[in-house]
Structure 1
Amino acid sequence: MSFNILVTGGAGYLGSTLVPDLLQAGHKVTVVDNFMFQQASLNHVCHHPDFNVIRGDVRIESTIKPLLAKADIIIPLAAYVGAPLCNQDPIGAETINHDAIKLMLKLVSAEQRILMPTTNSAYGSGDENNFCTEESPLRPISKYAIDKVEIEKHLMQHRNTISFRLATVFGMSPRMRIDLLVNDFTYRAVHDRFIVLFEGHFKRNYIHVRDVSRVFQHGINNFETMKGEIYNVGLSEANVSKMELCEHIQKQLPGFVFMEAPVGKDPDQRNYIVSNAKLEATGFRTSVTLDAGIAELIKGFTMLKNSIYGNV
């Protein structure tokens, strides 16, 4: 079945992978994005007759209201993602991550469907065993996670909603992010050949960007049985520590050296193991392993080097 889908922030890291997949599946897709990173990540779908793109700001009611009115499904990806960016511009983070979503919820009808990414970083440090399910208490540490927790409460009051609590995403995408943990460590392994770890025993869960696209499609195709629920989205075999992640990378780049810092601590104190059993019970299975994603990143970073302020 074909839907009219509005993807806010659709030119970003997730959207530039998801939007082509939605078009390939036969949907009509409208993207609204402010292109704050000057990205041209949707060039390859401009030929598609079912693709439409708007340069605009989701915080402006006169921009977003008519776009929402035409949509069967809304996938709100527009966000300041990650603690560093939110700390750098807390006002921008508040207005995009919180206020814009509340505006959207005010404007949509009860019949419209919303599939929204939230974050499993909301768990903070989990229980005494660092183990988390969707029922675990939320202990967000960063402003990014705090805002996502707050907005998820409002989101779940809308009857036609699915919240996907994403694990840390990795993998190559047309709008690339090097700062995500697996991407960052692999980039350093390719270009620097070493890394110093702070609190290398801290664990978290991971998910490939293409599997994030697949989970949104899974939610669309199984909406009636999944709606009104929150789902963790991650690789069940990839609840790994930073030290274990480096070992995975070293298998493919034997010259990569990593060591634990003797002093200091990581400003990011997240440390948890996440269960994805609830999502898996709906029939969803991931398709890209951690090792396959690392192999992909190594190829990508062979082509990509961020040397804008360097001499070499």
Structure 2
Amino acid sequence: MRVLVTGGAGYIGNYIVEELLDNGHDVRVLDSFLFGDDALAPFRNHDRFEASEGDIRHIEDLSYAMEDRDAVIHMAGIVGDPACGVNEQATQAVNVEATKTLVEVCKLHDIERLVFASTCSVYGASELMELNEGSFLNPLSLYAESKIESEDIIFHQTHGEFTDSDITATHLRLGTIFGWSRRMRFDLVVNLLTAKAVLEGDIPVYGGDQYRPLVHVADAANAFVTVLEAPKEKVDHQIFNVGDNDLNYQIKKVGKIVEDQVPDAEVRFVEHKEDERTYRVSFDKINYILDWEAERTIEDGVEEIKTWMEEEDITEYEQDVFRNSNYPYM
């Protein structure tokens, strides 16, 4: 297929680009390059790859990028609770209003497939044992709210008696991502705790009882490619949680895993916690319908980050480029 990946230079996006190219697809990236384009360096000379700098809020950028494409994987957006809180108007424009425009441009260009990056944060806080794709949504942040709005926009504009669209649309609700990427992030729990352990010998765990569903960045990318390549009847207007039932961990357990992987570092529990989210998620649907399973463990992620930090002599994890919330979103 000829695929457009919005946000293809991002934390997950560059992995998606790599796997699409490996699988024989023709890939175009549309990205604002707010965090640079170094993550795309390995693909610049590939004969089936091209990159375009642009803003998903601009219809002309979207239209140009979708020319001659068959499918769109929509990753671009302001990602994470802190980043979305920097400028609420920008979050609404980038994460919601741009989605409306994107779907309309998809229709104009006869796009066949649209895969949207959503989040398990839409579940918010729940005492249920495991949440599935049909569970009640309880967003606790603007980020989660914006993803729910975009999910609704995409399905309403591509399905039902009031639309003439033939777009096969699929939403992927991602667990909390971890692991090394060419566009590295240290504002994710596993990555941040690993960085603190390596550089400071300190693993601060706030609260600790709250649950998170975790998934490695490369596995998350693979889920997008799997959905894109799946038979349409299996994924048309479907929602899939992306993660692993065995990676529903309490944060205190995550801290202990990091401690075990990084010699001389110790967990330190802090009673106060600002993030009230806690949820355990079922990934049975994507396992059974698409025969998809995550392959990497938290231990794998911690080890690769630790090795990369040592090899590249990373001595600072709070640099702007490593944290989504450190950038002014206009």
Please indicate, yes or no, whether the TM-score normalized by the shorter chain is above 0.5: yes
* Alignment counterpart, residue 24 of structure 1, candidates 22, 26, 30: 22
Structure 1 residues 307 and 247 mapped into 2: Cα distance closer, same or farther (>3 Å)? Answer: closer
Q: Secondary structure at the match of 2:246?
A: coil
2:296 match: 288
The answer to whether the 8 Å contact 1:69/1:108 transfers is no
Letter aligned with residue 120 of structure 2: N
- Which protein is richer in helix relative to its size? 2
Task: Render the CA deviation track for 1:154-175: whole Å, top value 9, x for unaligned.
Answer: 1223241110000011111111
Residue of structure 2 in register with 1:121 after alignment: 121
SS in 1 for 2:140: coil
Change (3 A) 1:271 1:94: same
Give, in angstroms, the shift of residue 137 of structure 1: 0.5
Query: Within 1, Cα distance between the matches of 2:205 and 2:32?
Result: 35
Shift of 1:228: 1.2
Residue in structure 2 matched with residue 306 of structure 1 by the alignment? 316
Q: Deviations over 1:269-291 (max 9, x none)?
A: 11011000000002011111121
- Is the Cα–Cα contact under 8 Å of residues 205 and 255 in structure 2 kept in the other structure? no
Which residue matches 1:186?
A: 194
Q: Tell me the TM-score normalized by structure 1.
A: 0.93
Contact 1:8/1:77 (8 A) holds in 2: yes
Instruction: Report the aligned-residue RMSD.
Output: 1.6
The answer on whether the counterparts of 2:178 and 2:214 sit within 8 Å (CA) in structure 1 is: yes
Tell me how far apart the structure 1 counterparts of residues 111 and 55 of structure 2 sit (CA, whole Å).
Answer: 24
1:278 maps to which residue?
285
| Alpha-carbon separation, structure 2, partners of 1:277 and 1:307 | 35
What is aligned with 1:228? Answer: 237
User: What letter matches 2:253 in structure 1?
Assistant: E
Q: Match for residue 267 of structure 1?
A: 274
Q: Deviations over 1:58-105 (max 9, x none)?
A: 111111113224211101111110011111122221111111111011
Q: Distance in 2 between matches of 1:234 and 1:214?
A: 11
In structure 2, the residue corresponding to 1:108 is in which secondary structure?
helix
Cα 1:308/1:209, change in 2 over 3 Å: closer
The equivalent of 1:146 in structure 2 is 145
Q: 1:244 aligns with which of 243, 250, 253?
A: 253
The equivalent of 2:68 in structure 1 is: 70
Pick the aligned partner of 2:209 from 198, 201, 209.
201
Measured in 2, the distance between the counterparts of 1:38 and 1:229 equals: 33
Which 4+ residue blocks in structure 1 deviate beyond 3 angstroms?
none
1:132 corresponds to which residue? 131
Distance 2:219 2:38 in 1: 22
- Among candidates 1, 4, 22, match of residue 2 of structure 2: 4
> Residues 307, 145 of structure 1: CA spacing in aligned structure 2 closer, same or farther, 3 A cutoff?
closer
How far does residue 111 in structure 1 lie from its aligned partner after superposition? 5.2
Q: Helix, strand or coil for the counterpart of 2:274?
A: coil
Alignment counterpart, residue 58 of structure 1, candidates 56, 59, 70: 56
Q: Residue 162 of structure 1 aligns with which residue? A: 170
Q: Distance in 2 between matches of 1:17 and 1:258?
A: 31
Is 1:174 matched up with 2:182? Answer: yes
Within 1, Cα distance between the matches of 2:270 and 2:106? Answer: 50
Tell me, yes or no, if the aligned pair for 1:130 and 1:271 is still in contact at 8 Å: no
CA offsets 1:18-72 (integer angstroms, 9 cap, x no match) = 1111111111111011111234211110110111111111111111113224211
In structure 2, the residue corresponding to 1:75 is in which secondary structure? strand
Structure 2 letter corresponding to 1:275:
S
What is the TM-score when the length of structure 2 is the normalising length?
0.88
Mark the CA change 1:254 to 1:307 in structure 2 (over 3 Å): closer, same or farther: closer
CA distance in 2, matches of 1:9, 1:89: 19
Letter in 2 for 1:25: N
Q: Give % identity.
A: 30
Distance (whole Å) between structure 1 residues aligned to residue 39 and residue 315 of structure 2: 17
Which residue number in structure 2 is paired with residue 34 of structure 1?
32
- Matched letter for residue 257 of structure 2: H
Q: Find the aligned partners of 1:15 and 1:184 in 2 and give their Cα distance.
A: 20
Contact 2:209 2:251 in 1 (8 A): yes
